[in-house]
């Protein structure tokens, strides 16, 4: 697989990453099986994926434990990215950016992941009660201690930004400019997909101009852009899509033209007969947004992990990109 570099220290990763959250958090709990997920991680690594993205809150904790089962055998094959800063309660999630907590969280993640170093340690969310510089300083100390190689920041949620009346990601950019004064930012993780391109306006240019890597979260639109979801099919109660306004039966039906456009592009490259799918087109589009962009599609199935990895070989033409640019804007939002 093509390799890409992120951050000022030129960390090298496969062009496509693997989002591990669905294996133990937020999606179809009835289908979360550890052994199957472990096989999916192995298959991704075999296909050239290196970046494995997790967080201590996924599960909570069980996602890191799952990855630890793979890393104890294949640590040299993987680029490990995990996150801290969010605590999961029974009915709520709260931020904790206290330096002491950050240090303890890192040590706990290292134990669960069965490794002695985390390649990319990301701040999941800033704690509104703690200056972000204090949290980032504690994370920087972990780099100096040799427990972490580089630091990253996850963008603020869409809903929080829109409620404030600010431009999307303005708050994240302010945070980035503050923490950059303390210790270099190597990567930013934010949503980027054909149906959620908002980060292209300001956040991705900010990263490009500073050599900061961009981890494209949800590049398959929470599964919608794969074309495998049926409008009205429903979701399990704990599945995050059960509460997402774009995943009502009405909005899923209204947004089918987006998937149809991706399918047309896939057909232009041979379609199913050639092993080209709408999901791969969506990932190839994200890859084309910049040399430091690394899409991180999530899955818990070996089949999809391999299919996603093969998207790195798909080169979209100017005609393909023009067709995608003409697709209708997705309907339904958090507003």
User: How far, in Å, are 117, 322, 325 from residue 319 at the CA level?
Assistant: 44, 5, 10
Question: Catalytic: which of 27, 58, 121, 169?
Answer: 58
Token duo for residue 176: 């980035």
Active-site residue flag, 58: yes
DSSP-assigned letter for residue 196: B
CB burial of residue 66 (10 Å; 0-12, 13-18, 19+): buried
* CA angle at 225 for the pair 222 and 231, rounded to the nearest 5°: 85
The answer to whether the CB of 221 falls within 8 A of the CB of 194 is yes
What is the bridge-based pairing of β-strands 148-154 and 118-123? parallel
- Name every residue whose Cβ is closer than 8 Å to that of residue 329 and which is 6 or more positions away in sequence: 195
DSSP 44-63: HHHTT--EEE--TTTTTTHH
The answer to whether the CB of 297 falls within 8 A of the CB of 305 is no
What is the bridge-based pairing of β-strands 118-123 and 79-84? parallel
Interior/surface letters 296-316, b for 16+ CB within 10 angstroms, e for the rest: bbbbbbbebbbbbbbbbebeb
Alpha carbons 174 and 178: distance in angstroms, whole number: 6
- Name every residue whose Cβ is closer than 8 Å to that of residue 69 and which is 6 or more positions away in sequence: 34, 38, 114
Residue 201, helix vs strand vs coil:
coil
CB burial of residue 58 (10 Å; 0-12, 13-18, 19+): buried
Catalytic (active-site) positions:
58
């Amino acid at each position: 697989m093509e390799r890409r570099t992120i951050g000022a220290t030129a960390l090298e990763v496969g062009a496509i990453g693997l989002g591990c959250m669905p294996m133990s958090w937020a999606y179809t709990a009835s289908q979360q099986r550890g052994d199957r997920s472990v096989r999916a991680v192995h298959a991704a690594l075999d296909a050239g994926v290196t970046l494995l993205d997790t967080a201590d809150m996924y599960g909570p904790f069980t996602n890191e434990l799952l990855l630890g089962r793979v890393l104890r055998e294949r640590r040299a094959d993987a680029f490990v990215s995990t996150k801290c800063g969010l605590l999961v309660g029974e009915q709520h999630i709260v931020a904790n950016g206290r330096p002491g907590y950050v240090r303890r969280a890192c040590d706990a993640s290292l134990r669960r992941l069965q490794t002695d170093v985390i390649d990319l340690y990301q701040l999941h969310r800033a704690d509104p009660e703690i200056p972000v510089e204090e949290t980032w300083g504690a994370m920087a100390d972990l780099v100096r201690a040799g427990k972490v190689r580089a630091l990253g920041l996850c963008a603020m949620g869409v809903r929080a930004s829109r409620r404030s009346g600010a431009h999307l990601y303005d708050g994240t950019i302010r945070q980035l400019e503050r923490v950059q004064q303390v210790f270099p930012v190597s990567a930013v993780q934010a949503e980027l997909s054909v149906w959620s391109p908002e980060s292209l306006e300001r956040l991705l240019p900010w990263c490009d101009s500073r050599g900061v890597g961009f981890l494209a979260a949800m590049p398959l639109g929470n599964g919608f852009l794969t074309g495998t979801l049926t409008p009205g099919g429903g979701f399990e109660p704990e599945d995050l899509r059960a509460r997402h306004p774009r995943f009502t039966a009405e909005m899923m039906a209204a947004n089918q033209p987006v998937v149809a456009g991706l399918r047309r592009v896939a057909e232009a490259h041979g379609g199913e007969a050639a092993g080209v799918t709408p999901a791969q087109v969506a990932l190839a589009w994200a890859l084309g947004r910049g040399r430091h962009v690394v899409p991180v599609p999530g899955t818990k199935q070996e089949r999809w992990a391999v299919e996603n990895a093969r998207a790195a070989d798909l080169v979209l033409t100017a005609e393909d990109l023009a067709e995608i640019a003409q697709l209708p804007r997705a309907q339904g939002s958090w507003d």
